[in-house]
Amino acid sequence: MIICSMNMAIKSTNAQGSQSLALLICILANFAVNINGAALNDSVFYYELATLQPSEATNLPIYIVLQQDQEEHAKIVDMVRYDKGKLNAKATNLTAISWAHAVNSQQLLGESLSSDIDMIEADIVLGKLNGEGPDLPVMAHPPAKVSDLTLEDFLQQIKVYNEENEGAEKGVKLDFKSIEVFEGSLGILDETIPKMTYPIWINADIISGPVKQISSVPVDPARFFAGCMRYKQAVLSIGWTTKWGANYREGEYTEEQCDAMLQVINDNNVTSTGQPITFPVRAGIAANSATQLHDLVAAVNGTNECTLTIWSSANDYVDVAQLRKLIFGFGLDRVYLDVPEELSSQLDLGNTGHGASTFNSLVSFSFVSLCFWAVSSWLKSV
């Protein structure tokens, strides 16, 4: 219905000059609202829109507008993304951002800093440095509690590297495994985060998640959000505890689990901060959960810019076709991809198979909103 009404409207304005432009703004506004809200609730609609053949897409007025001045719009997108952080210059395809995962030792940190990866992810527990001394925040993944690298040294080394390598800075994702280690790290974070001019993500699993996961205890959401309120520049990476593996085929992020996530976001006034939110979702489970995840993102995106971060363990079963559909359903500018190389290759995101690798990225709610803003700004200057 939206597409039909847009086509009828655009045909009636072809020779109307400024009236045509004004009507186009209204059309873009209507389209942006629908993409930002209701359309996201229907994963089938959004996926089909994102993967139209070029011959089909030429009937869409938004496609015509974008093609008229594609280079200029691309410059606007790059400019806006750059203002949000240098890594986001790649934001038309967030899946292209590369990750170093579980960087929990001095050796792995050194290797990551000398590589061309974009984001460094690491885990923090309360444990001992080299097995000695008092408990303090160290880089390790449970059940390990001993490391040769403290959180303080980890952050300091990244800070020094980024200061010495302007234009090639690396972002940081800190995965806190308990509320105790998070609260025990606040003094270190207070000292370091305000000095960061590069992306910083704060991650925790705050809701019990799919497949009757009982081995991990969620991080207390109220206490976690209370601490995060101190770091308005940080991206909140908030997820679910999960259980999955090579032999799993059935499991999803249920409506109840997504509602629980939305509830704690609302209860803790996260919507008032405007902080960006990314939902880390396990690839094999996310592939079965398109509708629920679309509903969740649509419910939060009006106040906090939302993305998905799809991750996977090495031996996880993943329905590749379904996961690929999910990714293009959200758009490449709304999905980060932190998965093993084998799965990344199978997804083949550089070739959509529909001849529309540019179109599916452009026709996303962020870009349509940006186009509306650009045209509106131009009108005000006339």
Give the tens place of pLDDT for each residue, 97-126. 999 999 999 999 999 999 999 999 999 999
Q: Given this model, what pLDDT does residue 10 score?
A: 35
Q: Given this model, what pLDDT does residue 313 score?
A: 86
Measure the CA angle with vertex 156, ends 83 and 314; round to 5°.
Answer: 80
Residue 94 reports pLDDT greater than 80:
yes
For a pLDDT cut of 90, what percent of the chain falls above it? 59
Check the CA dihedral 342-44-23-377 and report its sign.
negative
What are the two backbone dihedrals, phi and then psi, of residue 78, each rounded to the nearest 5 degrees? Answer: -60, -40
- pLDDT confidence tier of residue 64, bands split at 50, 70 and 90: very low
Residue 364 reports pLDDT greater than 90:
no
Compute the distance between CA of residue 35 and CA of residue 190 in angstroms, rounded to an integer.
Answer: 37
Residues paired with residue 240 on neighbouring β-strands, in sequence order: 207
The answer to whether the beta carbons of residues 231 and 195 sit under 8 Å apart is: no
For a pLDDT cut of 70, what percent of the chain falls above it? 65
Residue-wise over 332-359: b if at least 16 C-beta within 10 A, else e? bbbbbbbbbeebbeebebeebebebbbb
Q: Which of 22-31, 55-64, 87-96 bottoms out in mean pLDDT, i.e. has the lowest?
A: 55-64
Alpha carbon of residue 33 to chain centroid: 20
187: closest CA among 227, 146, 127?
Answer: 227
108: closest CA among 94, 89, 124, 122?
Answer: 122
Q: Given this model, what pLDDT does residue 376 score?
A: 45
In the predicted model, what is the mean pLDDT of residues 357-375? Answer: 37
In three-state secondary structure terms, 62 is helix
In three-state secondary structure terms, 125 is strand
* Structural domains present in the chain: 2-68+373-381 (no CATH), 93-353 (3.20.20)
Residue 248 reports pLDDT greater than 50:
yes
Q: Given this model, what pLDDT does residue 19 score?
A: 53
Residue 5 reports pLDDT greater than 80:
no
In the predicted model, what is the mean pLDDT of residues 209-221? Answer: 81
347: closest CA among 320, 374, 369?
Answer: 320
What are the two backbone dihedrals, phi and then psi, of residue 310, each rounded to the nearest 5 degrees? Answer: -90, 125
Q: Which of 132-141, 326-335, 362-371 bottoms out in mean pLDDT, i.e. has the lowest?
A: 362-371
Neighbours of 203 (CB within 10 A): 26
Q: Given this model, what pLDDT does residue 251 score?
A: 85
Residue 166 reports pLDDT greater than 60:
yes
Residues paired with residue 126 on neighbouring β-strands, in sequence order: 137
- pLDDT confidence tier of residue 250, bands split at 50, 70 and 90: confident
The residue type found at 242 is T
Compute the distance between CA of residue 347 and CA of residue 330 in angstroms, rounded to an integer.
Answer: 15
Q: Which of 190-194, 242-246, 307-311 bottoms out in mean pLDDT, i.e. has the lowest?
A: 242-246
Q: Given this model, what pLDDT does residue 59 score?
A: 43
Q: Given this model, what pLDDT does residue 213 score?
A: 59
Q: Given this model, what pLDDT does residue 249 score?
A: 64
- pLDDT confidence tier of residue 246, bands split at 50, 70 and 90: low
Q: Which residues contact 5 (CB under 8 A, 6 or more apart)?
A: none
- Rg of the chain, C-alpha, whole Å: 22
Compute the distance between CA of residue 305 and CA of residue 81 in angstroms, rounded to an integer.
Answer: 13
In three-state secondary structure terms, 83 is helix
